[in-house]
Amino acid sequence: MADAAAAPVGTVRCYVGNLSWAVDDETLKAHMETVGTVVSSNVMRKGDGRSKGCAIVEFSTAAEAAKAKAELTDTELEGRKIFVREDKEPAGAFAAGPSKVASGTPGTSLYIGNLAWEVTWQDLKDLFTDKGVVYADVKFGRDGRSRGWGIARFETPEQAASVIAEFNETEYMGRKLAVREDKQG
C-alpha cells in the first residue's frame, strides 16, 4: 500500500472516522471502492499496532471523494457508523509520525471557544487567514453536531499571541469568542 507522502499528484484525501478497531486497510478499501477508485487506504495505528479508529483514504478524483462524503457517511462498517470528510492535514502528517502541524510548536495552538453551531473548519481558517494560520478544525461529537469549539494552529507563537489579543471576546457569527492558548496541543 502506498503511504500518504508518496501519493500520486491529483489524488484527493478523505479522513474516515469512527472505525471499528477490527477494520483493516483492505476492509476499508473494499468499502470505499463502492464509490470510486481508491489509490490508498491507511488505518492509523498506535505504536503498539492497535487501530486509532480513523483512517486516510485517497481517491483518484475530487468527484469520487465528494461522492464518498455524500454516500458513505453514516454507512455501517464492521458494526459502526462511519463518517467521511475532507482530510485537513498535510500529506504525510500521519505517515512519518508527528509533524509541526500535527503536533504543533509550543505556543502556536489556540483553543477557540463559544463558536456558533454552524461554524466550520473553513470558516475558522478564513477568519485567521492573514494571521499565519496553518491548521483549523471544529470539533464534532459522535452525533455529528458541533461541540462549539475548535483548534487553530499558527506558524509562530507571536502570531498566536496576536490572535488572542485581537479576537478574544470579539463577536463572530453572533457569538462572543473565547480565544486562549490550547493547553492540549
Of the listed ranges 17-21, 76-80, 102-106, 120-124, the least confidently predicted one is: 102-106
Q: pLDDT at position 91, please?
A: 57
Q: pLDDT at position 47, please?
A: 77
* Section 104-115 average pLDDT: 82
Q: Which range has the top average pLDDT, 28-42, 86-100, 105-119, 139-153? A: 28-42
Residue 24 has pLDDT above 70, yes or no: yes
CA distance linking residue 128 with residue 137, whole number of Å: 12
Q: pLDDT at position 140, please?
A: 84
pLDDT, mean over the chain: 83
Report helix angle 62-72 to 25-32, nearest 10: 100
* Section 139-164 average pLDDT: 89
Partners of residue 135 on adjacent β-strands: 153
Q: How confident is the model at residue 89 (pLDDT cuts 50, 70, 90)?
A: low
Q: How confident is the model at residue 129 (pLDDT cuts 50, 70, 90)?
A: confident
Residue 174 has pLDDT above 90, yes or no: yes
* Section 96-119 average pLDDT: 69
* Section 54-77 average pLDDT: 92
Partners of residue 40 on adjacent β-strands: 58
Residue 52 has pLDDT above 50, yes or no: yes
Residue 139 has pLDDT above 70, yes or no: yes
* Section 174-180 average pLDDT: 94
Higher pLDDT among residues 90 and 51, named by residue: 51
Q: pLDDT at position 135, please?
A: 86
CA distance linking residue 4 with residue 13, whole number of Å: 9
CA distance linking residue 116 with residue 114, whole number of Å: 7
- φ, ψ at 128 (rounded to 5°): -105, 15
